[in-house]
Amino acid sequence: MPGGEVRPALLTYRLMPSTCPSRRAPRIYGIAGFGGEPRAASRGLRNIMKHDLIYAVRGLYKRPLFAIAAVVTLALGIGANSAIFSVVHAVLLRPLPYPSPDRLMMLWTYNPRQGFDKDVSAYPNFDDWRRQSTSFDGMSAYYGVDFTLTQAGDPAQIRGAIVTLGFFETLGVAPALGRAFSPREGSVGGNHVAILSHGLWQTRFGSDPAIVGRSIALDGVAHEVLGVMPPSFAYPETAQVWTPLFPSERFAQIMQSRGALWLQVIGRLKHGVARGEAQAELDAIASALERQYPDVNAGIGVRLLPMHEEIVGDVRQPLLVLVGAVGFVLLIACANVANLLLTRAAARQKELAIRAALGAGRSRLIRQMLIESLVLAAAGGAAGLMLAAWGIQALQSLAPSDIPRLTGIHIDTPVILYASLAALVTGLIFGMALALQSAAVTAGEFLKQGGRAGSVGSRSRRLRSAVAIVEIAVALVLLIGAGLLVRSFVAMNKVELGFDPRHILVLRVDLPNARYPEGTQVNAFYSDLTSRLRVLPGVESVGLGSSVLLSALPQSATLSVQGRPAPDPNVRNAPVPYDSITPGFFKTLRIPLLRGRLFTDVDIPTAQPVVVVNESLAKRFFPDGDVLGRKVTFDNPTDSRARWQPSLASSATRAAAA
């Protein structure tokens, strides 16, 4: 060629009449080849691939109903899988947003006396762990609390955390604005200070960069803002403000008690220190504390667990089960699309036979079928991603609030890659079987079948039957699982709660200690609140309680019965939860009274303390059935100042009511 250019030769076919006397069928001769250098050959291959892609898109455009049905089916399967994967990635797979997150640990109190493998900790024990341990770069503790925020728009109740010094340093995160707490803020007489979350800074303070140094009111007490945390920081996850823990009037007594368990403890292991080494050191410290304080630390140990594992908690197994379920949904989608393609292929046998007669080889037909399947899968994957984005919003609004790291769920690069991989795999799964089946029909076989487009042969029928069997089997597994879930849901709705939840409105009220420091002031406020609520239109009755039934574990302590030996501190004694309530509590919840009487207005704090116990407690502590008038106490029974409270009644509630 002029200039040395080498062009690929044209692909040519010649149909020659047979020299066979019978002349029953033409004989096919094919001549195909690429001339020139390898680069020119690859250019020709790319042109053919481009032609196949255009042909596949054009074919789907000519059959819109088939294309829409296939794309919607794939979008449902890929969208559901992508949405669930986004949850699994955010909750289980994504590392914590802190430096060296694998070295972050949670330290739990091992408390077999009260039946807890992982319990919160006492401040004196935490302080001893922190001072005596050499395996940690830092160790801190915190306590979740609610604050009432004022002087920043309308009053609002926000979730916060009271933390020890070094809390942010232990996690390895510094404020984006301002600074962290210093030693002078963690001592008696220090200023009241606070650090804000990025979200609170945006919503309540308009992202004001001059917020550092300003004063805000938390529970009626002025706090100076020291800093604002980065957007990615959320620990504890629901916290919006952090204040330092120091022996103030509120915490002075509880910070000295080894029997008061109330703190969550976190620690950062030193480089090169294994978790087992740190656990052995903590076990030695706990044994020394047990010998030093046998009355309160008998049997008390320490459990060291990775923070990520503890944050994930009990949601790992349900999420993995959910991944398996949506995986089955994707298999059903693949089977449905495969059946659609096989049905369509039955009408394309004449086309494929003619292409084979013109010289298209087996690989050429397989490639065309695969490209058509991958085009469908790509369209289904794109639609599935859009469906997943909507599904994530629905999951975040409907999911229980106790699912960890829920706010971090979004469509990101790993989710897009997962959706792309799912689309590719599904395209190959249902495309390969179709390609192999379609390419297996030669021109001779088609002619032997009489040239009928509807005759696909026994091989095609067997393949379609196998796909249908797989589809039915997978659908049956999902149907059985769904039926079991519905059955469990119906059974849970039929469980007797012991109270009537219908037409009940629950409000939570937290009084700031600075404004209501005395118990008489608190009682006066709630008495006035109850009186005002009773006269509201539509209100039948009003009751107040220190916790809501069926909520997390309320206040609890070890119960002692008068006339019986005190519980052995070395023996497991499950704590008894108790609530403080007003006389209208049982009436409002319509809790049935089994024996005795309920509280009345004469049962005031200055009178003889009395209790109402539930049926479970009565059976546990009074198996003889004689419960009325028996005296119990949550105090130390050997203390002369212990308050012994007679039982007035037994009811169907879950806990004792003091």
Task: Provide DSSP, 482-497.
Answer: HHHHHHHHHHHHTS--
Q: Give which of 78, 51, 54 is closest to 337, Cα–Cα.
A: 78
What pLDDT is attached to residue 399? 75
Is the pLDDT assigned to residue 44 strictly greater than 60? no
How far apart CA 249 and CA 259 sit, in angstroms, is 19
Mean pLDDT of 377-388: 91
Please provide the size of the chain in residues: 658
What pLDDT is attached to residue 403? 77
Mean pLDDT of 601-616: 81
Reported as a single tens digit per residue, the pLDDT across 68-119 is 888 998 999 999 999 999 988 888 888 899 999 999 999 999 988 777 889 9
Is the pLDDT assigned to residue 620 strictly greater than 90? no
pLDDT band with cut points at 50, 70 and 90 for residue 213: very high
What pLDDT is attached to residue 178? 95
437's enclosing H/E stretch is helix 413-439
How far apart CA 183 and CA 486 sit, in angstroms, is 56
Structure tokens at 433: 């079987």
Q: Give which of 87, 80, 51 is closest to 426, Cα–Cα.
A: 80
Residue 202, Cβ density class (10 Å: 0-12 exposed, 13-18 middle, ≥19 buried): middle
Residue with tokens 């609610």: 146
Q: Give which of 508, 516, 507 is closest to 219, Cα–Cα.
A: 516
pLDDT band with cut points at 50, 70 and 90 for residue 569: low
pLDDT band with cut points at 50, 70 and 90 for residue 277: very high
471/157: higher pLDDT:
157
Other CB atoms within 10 A of residue 59 CB: 17
Other CB atoms within 10 A of residue 646 CB: 14
Structure tokens at 544: 């107040």
Partner residues linked to 223 by β-bridges? 216
What pLDDT is attached to residue 39? 52
CB 614 within 8 A of CB 655: yes
Half-sphere exposure of 555 (CA within 13 A, CB side): 13
What DSSP state is assigned to residue 499? Answer: S
Structure tokens at 641: 């100042």
Q: Which residues contact 402 (CB under 8 A, 6 or more apart)?
A: none
CB 282 within 8 A of CB 224: no
CB 242 within 8 A of CB 167: yes
Buried b (16+ CB within 10 A) or exposed e, 580-591: ebbebbbebbeb
The amino acid at residue 430 is F
Reported as a single tens digit per residue, the pLDDT across 299-357 is 899 999 999 999 887 788 888 888 888 888 887 888 788 777 777 766 666 666 666 66
Using DSSP bridges, classify how beta strands 156-163 and 560-561 pair: parallel, antiparallel or unpaired.
Answer: unpaired
Low-confidence winner among 30-44, 520-534, 572-586, 622-636 (lowest mean pLDDT): 30-44
pLDDT band with cut points at 50, 70 and 90 for residue 535: very high
28's enclosing H/E stretch is strand 27-31
CA-only gyration radius of the chain, Å:
36
How far apart CA 87 and CA 91 sit, in angstroms, is 6
The amino acid at residue 49 is M
- For residue 257, CA distances in Å to 121, 253, 265, 434, 435 come to 11, 7, 16, 73, 75
**Angle made by CA atoms 427, 87, 201, in degrees to the nearest 5:** 135
Partner residues linked to 13 by β-bridges? 30
What pLDDT is attached to residue 9? 38
What DSSP state is assigned to residue 263? Answer: B
524's enclosing H/E stretch is helix 519-534
User: Helices marked H in 114-157 — which ranges?
Assistant: 123-132
Low-confidence winner among 69-83, 396-410, 620-634 (lowest mean pLDDT): 396-410
- The alpha carbon torsion through 509, 612, 631, 298 (nearest 10 deg) reads -50
Cis peptide bond prior to 537, omega within 30° of 0: no
How far apart CA 95 and CA 86 sit, in angstroms, is 14
Other CB atoms within 10 A of residue 598 CB: 18
What pLDDT is attached to residue 33? 39
CB 223 within 8 A of CB 194: yes
Buried b (16+ CB within 10 A) or exposed e, 376-392: bbbbbbbbbbebbbebb
What pLDDT is attached to residue 482? 76
**Angle made by CA atoms 538, 542, 547, in degrees to the nearest 5:** 130
Structure tokens at 206: 């308009």
Q: Give which of 255, 235, 237, 253 is closest to 245, Cα–Cα.
A: 255
